[in-house]
Amino acid sequence: MTRLASTDRDKTPNNSVARALVVIGDRWMQLILREAFLGATRFETYRERTGAARTTLTKRLRKLEKEGLMERIPYQTAPLRYEYHLTAKGLALYPAVVMIWKWEIRWGGKDAHLPRALVHRTCGHRAAPILSCRHCGNPIVLGDCRFADGPGAGYEAAPSRRLYRRLNSNSHLAGSDGEVVEASDLLGDRWSGLVLASQFFGVHRFDEIQQFLGIASNILTDRLRTLVANDILRRTIYQERPPRFDYRLTEKGRETYPFTLALMLWGDQWLAAEQGPPVYVYHKSCRRRLGAVVTCGKCDGVLAPRDVSSVPSKPAK
C-alpha cells in the first residue's frame, strides 16, 4: 500500500478503522454492544451489566440508534417501554466483538459478564473462535495480508481536537501506573485504537504516527505510554541524540490484529464513502480480496450469533 502521509495537520488519511472507531470507539458503546450480543435487550439490563449511569446509557443508546446499529421495539404500552435490538449493521460487528472477547479472555480480562467460553450449537463443542478467510478457509494471521490503495484512498478532515483527552491517573481508562483493566477501556478509547491500528500499516516511529493520524503530540505521547505500560507495544531507541524511539507490537499487541482487521472490514462494508473503501485487503494464501468470517476451531463451521451460546464467567467474589 502506498504510504499515506500529509504535512497538513488538519487532514488524515481515509481509514475504515478510524471511521469505525468514530462510531463505536467509546468504552460505553463497546460495553453496550457486548451485552447486546450476550442477550441484553432492555434498558435496566444494560444498566446493571455495564454499570453506566442512566444519562450515559441513554445517550449511548440514542447514538447507536442514530448510527443504525440498534433499533427500539416497544414491548409495553402503558407505560411505554422499549427493547433495544441489533440491526443488520450492528450484527455485522459480531466478528470484531468475538475477536476482542478472545483477546481479553487470554490476556487478563476479569469482567464478570465476559463469556468464559462460546459453545457452537451446530457441533456441540466449545469453540475456539478463529478469524478465517471466507474464500479459502485458512486462518488470517498477521503478515498474511497485502494492502493496496482502494478507490476511496485520499484524505479527510482530522477529528476535532475536542475529542482528544488524556489517559491519566484521574481517568477510568488507566491507573497511575498506566495499567488498563479491561479491553473495553483500552480499545474503547478511539485514539489508543488508532495508534494501535497504525502499526498494522507499518507506521512505527513517533513522527510517522503523528503525521499518519493527525494527532496532537501530547495525546500521542500519552497513548504510546499507556500501550507500552500494558505490554502491547515495545519501545526501542534508534537514535541517541536526541533520543528517538521506535514502537513495535509485542505478542499481546499482535494478537489484536484479528479484531482490528475485522473492524476495518466492517467499516469498509458499512461506512465507506460513495467511491468505495480506502484500502483493499488481499489474502496472500488465496490471492483474493479478503472476506473474513469467524469459524469454530472444532468443526470449521461459521460462527453466527444465533448458532452460539455463551458460558458465563463465575461472578466475582
Rounded to two decimals, the pTM is 0.86
CA angle 42, 95, 251 (to 5 degrees): 120
Q: How many CA atoms lie within 13 A of 118 on its CB side?
A: 28
Q: Which residue has the cell 488507566?
A: 174
Q: What is the mean pLDDT of residues 59-69?
A: 96
pLDDT digits (tens, 9 = 90+) for 200-252: 888 999 999 998 888 889 999 999 999 999 899 999 999 888 989 999 999 99
Helix (H, G, I), strand (E, B), or coil: what is residue 197? helix
pLDDT digits (tens, 9 = 90+) for 285-304: 999 999 999 999 999 999 99
Could you tell me which of 230, 234, 235 has the C-alpha nearest to residue 103? 230
Whether 27 has a pLDDT exceeding 90, the answer reads no
Could you tell me which of 258, 292, 307 has the C-alpha nearest to residue 127? 307
Could you tell me which of 56, 55, 90, 96 has the C-alpha nearest to residue 72? 90
When pLDDT is cut at 50, 70 and 90, the band that residue 165 belongs to is: very low
How confident is the model at residue 250, as a pLDDT?
96
* Overall CATH class of domain 11-254: mainly alpha
CA angle 262, 263, 265 (to 5 degrees): 65
pLDDT digits (tens, 9 = 90+) for 191-202: 888 899 899 888
Who contacts 143 (Cβ-Cβ below 8 Å, separation ≥6)?
A: none
Residue 153 C-alpha cell reads as 484512498
Lowest mean pLDDT segment, chosen from 7-16, 32-41, 68-77: 7-16
Residue 194 C-alpha cell reads as 488508532
Beta bridge partners of 83: 42, 73
Could you give the strand order of the β-sheet that contains 145-149, starting from the edge strand earlier in sequence? 145-149, 279-283, 288-289
Instruction: Please give the backbone phi and psi of residue 12, each rounded to the nearest 5 degrees, phi first.
Output: -140, 150
Please check whether residue 278 is in contact with residue 197, taking contact to mean a CB–CB distance below 8 angstroms: no
Distance from C-alpha of 7 to C-alpha of 64, rounded to nearest angstrom:
34
Whether 136 has a pLDDT exceeding 80, the answer reads yes
DSSP state string for 27-78: HHHHHHHHHHHTT--BHHHHHHHH---HHHHHHHHHHHHHTTSEEEEEEEET
Residue 275 C-alpha cell reads as 467511491
